[in-house]
Amino acid sequence: MPGAVVERGERVTFRTVERDDTEFLQRATTDPRIRFPLGTFRHKNRAQRREQLEAHAENDEVYAFVVCLDGEDESEAAADPASGETASHDATAGHPDEGETTRIGAVKVHGVDGDRAFLSYWLLPAYHGEGYGGEAAALAVDYTFRTTSVHGMSAGAYDFNEASRGLLESLGCEEDVHVRETNFVDGEYHDAYTYSLLRREWAD
């Protein structure tokens, strides 16, 4: 079960990555629809994924979140102050009960203690195509520029990942680098593109 809410968008919430989330996050290393775009060529078992979780999500250089949709109960409690005390809102914004929130993906920002941060994200395939990716990425960019002094943010995408490349362009990212046939993914070599967005560009 994901942890407390750190950041709230219109529809998605960013919650802390808890060790209990290992099994959910393992999906990004096994489902070919997720792991190929992420460049995770080797699947991981739960023990390996948990080690990765400790190395990344519990590291000072990294912001890591589980991206969630909060359930209707919660939205209503939050939207209608008359229906409940402030306590209900606080409770849901804090630690959710099972069923109050649905994990749909994850976002990571590496290098937040340096000059340049690196953004990555994934969503379960069932939640693609509904604008959640754009909302989550924008929320991560916003949060990173607001809470750190990084000068810019970068992100990468393979040639076949048109959804992600479109998303990065729609956020205002510029294509910096195109590396030809750099990784063997799903049966052939693919090109990788690196994008970036500077703080002043985001401010605009």
Burial pattern 55-76, b for ≥16 Cβ within 10 A else e, equals ebbeeeebbbbbbbbbbeebee
The CB-of-183 to another protein minimum distance in angstroms stands at 9
Q: Whose Cβ is closer to another protein: residue 45's or residue 147's?
A: 45
Minimum gap (Å) between residue 200 Cβ and another protein: 38
Q: Which residues bind another protein (CB under 8 A)?
A: 23, 26-27, 30-32, 41-48, 69-74, 98-102, 104, 124-127, 184, 186-187, 189
Nearer to another protein, 104 or 112 (CB): 104
Between 49 and 141, whose beta carbon lies closer to another protein?
49
In angstroms, what is the C-alpha Rg of the chain?
17
- Least distance between another protein and beta carbon 7 (Å): 19
Which one, 38 or 119, has the nearer CB to another protein? Answer: 38
Residue whose CB is less far from another protein, 54 or 186: 186
Angle at the Cα of 116 from the Cα atoms of 114 and 120, rounded to 5 degrees: 115
Contacts made by residues 99-102, CB under 8 angstroms, sequence distance 24+: 99/71, 100/70, 100/71, 100/73, 100/74, 101/2, 101/13, 101/15, 101/68, 101/69, 101/70, 101/71, 101/74, 102/68, 102/69, 102/70, 102/71
Tell me the closest approach of the beta carbon of residue 158 to another protein, in angstroms: 14
CB 75 to another protein: min, Å:
10
